[in-house]
Amino acid sequence: MSEKITGAEALLRSIEAEGTDTIFGYPGGAIIPVFDRLYDHGGKLNHILVRHEQGATHAAQGYARVSGKTGVVFVTSGPGATNVITGLSDAMMDSTPLVVITGQVSSESLGSDAFQETDVIGITQPVTKWSHQIRTADEIAWAVSRAFYIASTGRPGPVVLDFAKNAQNEQIEWNGYKKCEFIRSYIPYPEVNEDDVDAVAEIINAAERPLLVSGHGVMISEAEKELVELAEKADIPVATTLLGLSTIPSAHPLNKGMLGMHGNVAPNMATNRCDVLIAVGMRFDDRVTGDVKEFAKQARVIHIDIDEAEFNKNIKADATILGDAKAVMEKLLPKIKKTKHTEWLDSFVDDEQLELEKVIKKEVYPITGDLKMGEVVNKISEAAGETAVLVTDVGQNQMMSSRYFNYFIPKSIVTSGGLGTMGFGLPAAIGAKIGAPERPVCFFVGDGGIQMTVEELGVILQYGVAVKIIILNNNFLGMVRQWQDMFFNKRYSQTPMVNPDFVALAKAYGIQAEDVVTREELDGAIKRMMEYDGAYVLNVKVEEEGYVFPMVPAGSTMINTIIAPGEKYQPEN
C-alpha cells in the first residue's frame, strides 16, 4: 500500500534499504529538508557531524575500507559540494565505494548563479564513476539504487547525487524500494575467460622464477585466502603494493614485503630477476615501477584485473585475465601444479640481509640518538595486537608506518595511495574506528598532516571515538625535506615548521595526551595509551632530519636504490 512522503524522506528510506547505518556529513541551507527528516531516523541512521566536508569524505573512506560497506556522505550545495572534491578524487584513485549526496538549489534556479549554486555535475564527473542530478522526487529511488550499485560493484568508486531542493520537498507516492541489479552496458563482473585462465596457468607452471604481486584489488574482492593458496601451492614469493599490504600476513614465509619507491630491497630487485611476474588487482603505478622501460623487462608479465583499461596502460602484459580477483583465482588454482622454487626463494636472502643490516636495524632498533619513526611504529604495532588497523596520513609517517607495522588479518591498512592526500588520516581513522569499533585503530601522522584536518578532533570530542593518534613530530614537512636534502642541495625552502603545543590542543578537545621526547619515556607512554579506554594522542619527538630508506629516485630503476645518505645499493654478488 502506497503512502505520500517527501523526496527527503524517500532518500532516507532508500539508503536504509541499501543497508546504510552510518552517514558522515555537514548540514546547510540546500540540504536542510534531508537533515530535517533525518531527525526522525535516529534509530536506524547514525549521523556523524564532521567539522569540514573534506573530513566527511575521508571518514567515509576509512569506514568503507574496513567495514566493506559503501560510505555515505551528506553535504550542502556550493562550498559544501566543492569541499568534497579532494575526497572524491582520493576515493576514485583508490577504488573506494562512496555515495555522496550534495544539496543543490531548486531546479528553477539552476543556471542563475543563485546563492551557493555551483555546477556539481560538471565539477565531479572527472573524479567519479557516476554523477547525476536529481531534479524531481519521482527519480529518487531509481537514482539511489543505481548509485549504490555503481559505487559498490566491479571496480568500486565514488558516486555523486546532486539533489535539488525542490525535489527534497516534493510529495510523491511511495511504493517501496527496489535495489538495482542490472544496468545495460555496465558489466561490473566480466565472465572469466577459460582460455585466458588456461594460458596463464601454463605460463605459471613453466616458470622457474615467478613473482606474485598483490594489489588493492585482492583486498577489495576479499581474495586473500585464494592469494595465499596460490602462493603456497606453487611456492611463489609474494610482494605487495602499498594498498595491498595485509592481503598476506607479514610473518608468512612467502611474503617478501612491499614494492615501490620506499619498498623492500629484495622484492624490488626481484622484479628485475623474475621470469614471470603475476600482477593481481594492481595498476602498475609509477611509484611501484619506477622507469617503466626498465621494469621487469626480462619477465613475462601476467596481469589479472577487473578493469580492462588497466591492461597495457603502463606495463605491457604478455597475458591477461579480465575479472574479479577472487573469481579468477578460484578458476586458476585447480590448474596450477604443486611445485617448489627453493633456489629462487633462497636468492632473496642476500638482499633481505642487506636491508636488515643497512636500514632496518638502524631504524627499528637504535641504541643512542633521537627517537626514530621506525622504532616508534614497531613498538606500537607490537602493543596493539593482531587485530589492529593501521591508518596513516601521507609523507614520511606513511612510509615508515606502512613498512614497520605488522599485519595479521585482512583489511588492516587504510592509507591514501594514489592521490597521496595530506590530511586524509585523521578523519579516515575516525571512520575506520566507527566502521570496526572492536578493532584497535592506530593512526600515524606527521606534524604537518595533522594540522590540515585537525578540526576533526571535534568529532572525537562529540562522539568519543577511541582512536590512538601518534604524531611523529620532526618540526618539518619531512618527506619534502628529504627530497630537498637529497636532490636540492639541502635548500629547505618552506619545510621547517613552528608547531603548536599538540598536547594542549588535544586536551582542549577533551582527549588524553602526552609528549614523548626520550627513548626511556616511550614504552610507558605506549602502555598508557593502549590501556586507556578512549582516544589518546602521543606527540613523539623524533629526529628532525630522518630519512625513509630504501629509496628509489623518482623515474629511476631499482638498481639505483639508495639505502643510506650517499650510499647506493650494492648487491653482495
Are 464 and 377 in a shared domain? Answer: yes
Assign 473 to helix, strand or coil: strand
Q: Where are the alpha helices (DSSP H) in 193-285?
A: 194-206, 216-220, 224-234, 265-270
Are 170 and 284 in a shared domain? Answer: no
**How far is Cα of residue 147 from the mean position of the Cα atoms in its chain?**
21
Are 222 and 297 in a shared domain? Answer: yes
Cα angle vertex 428, ends 529, 48, to 5°?
95
Are 375 and 334 in a shared domain? Answer: no
* Number of structural domains the chain divides into: 3
Are 247 and 287 in a shared domain? Answer: yes
Are 336 and 408 in a shared domain? Answer: no
Are 321 and 396 in a shared domain? Answer: no
Are 107 and 154 in a shared domain? Answer: yes
User: Quick check: is 183 in a domain?
Assistant: no
C-alpha cell at position 233 = 601451492
Amino acid at 238: V
User: What are 500-559's pLDDT values in tens digits?
Assistant: 999 999 999 999 999 999 999 999 999 999 999 999 999 999 999 999 999 999 999 999
Q: Are 281 and 217 in contact (CB under 8 A)?
A: yes
What pLDDT is recorded for position 2?
77
Q: Which residue segment(s) compose the domain that 320 sits in?
A: 194-349
Are 57 and 162 in a shared domain? Answer: yes
Task: Enumerate the active-site residues.
Answer: 53, 115-116, 165, 479
Residue 417: which CATH number? 3.40.50.970
User: Quick check: is 458 in a domain?
Assistant: yes
Given a cut of 60, whether residue 315 has pLDDT beyond it is yes
Q: Which residues contact 44 (CB under 8 A, 6 or more apart)?
A: 16, 21
- Provide the percentage of residues in the chain whose pLDDT is more than 90: 98
Q: What is the dihedral angle through the alpha carbons of 24, 30, 34, 38, rounded to the nearest 10 degrees?
A: 50
Neighbours of 212 (CB within 10 A): 25
Residue 202: which CATH number? 3.40.50.1220
What pLDDT is recorded for position 1?
61
Q: Are 99 and 70 in contact (CB under 8 A)?
A: yes
Neighbours of 156 (CB within 10 A): 23
User: Quick check: is 113 in a domain?
Assistant: yes
Q: How far is it, in rounded angstroms, from Cα 417 to Cα 170?
A: 41
Strand-pair partners of 515: 539
Q: Is the peptide bond before 550 cis (omega within 30 degrees of 0)?
A: yes
Are 11 and 41 in a shared domain? Answer: yes
What pLDDT is recorded for position 42?
80
Q: Crossing angle of helices 194-206/325-332, nearest 10°? A: 60
C-alpha cell at position 498 = 613552528
User: What are 227-251's pLDDT values in tens digits?
Assistant: 999 999 999 999 999 999 999 999 9
Assign 392 to helix, strand or coil: strand
Q: Where are the alpha helices (DSSP H) in 182-340?
A: 194-206, 216-220, 224-234, 265-270, 286-289, 325-332
Q: Are 77 and 103 in contact (CB under 8 A)?
A: yes
Question: Closest Cα to residue 57, out of 32, 36, 85?
Answer: 85
User: Quick check: is 411 in a domain?
Assistant: yes
Between 138-147, 412-421, 446-455, 561-570, the lowest mean confidence (pLDDT) is in 561-570
User: Quick check: is 507 in a domain?
Assistant: yes
Among the candidates 174, 202, 218, a domain finishes at 174
User: Quick check: is 181 in a domain?
Assistant: no
What pLDDT is recorded for position 405?
98
pLDDT grade for 43, boundaries at 50, 70 and 90: confident
Amino acid at 279: A
What pLDDT is recorded for position 571?
77
Are 201 and 170 in a shared domain? Answer: no
Q: Are 241 and 376 in contact (CB under 8 A)?
A: no
User: Quick check: is 272 in a domain?
Assistant: yes
User: Quick check: is 46 in a domain?
Assistant: yes
Q: How far is it, in rounded angstroms, from Cα 415 to Cα 243?
A: 7
Are 289 and 417 in a shared domain? Answer: no
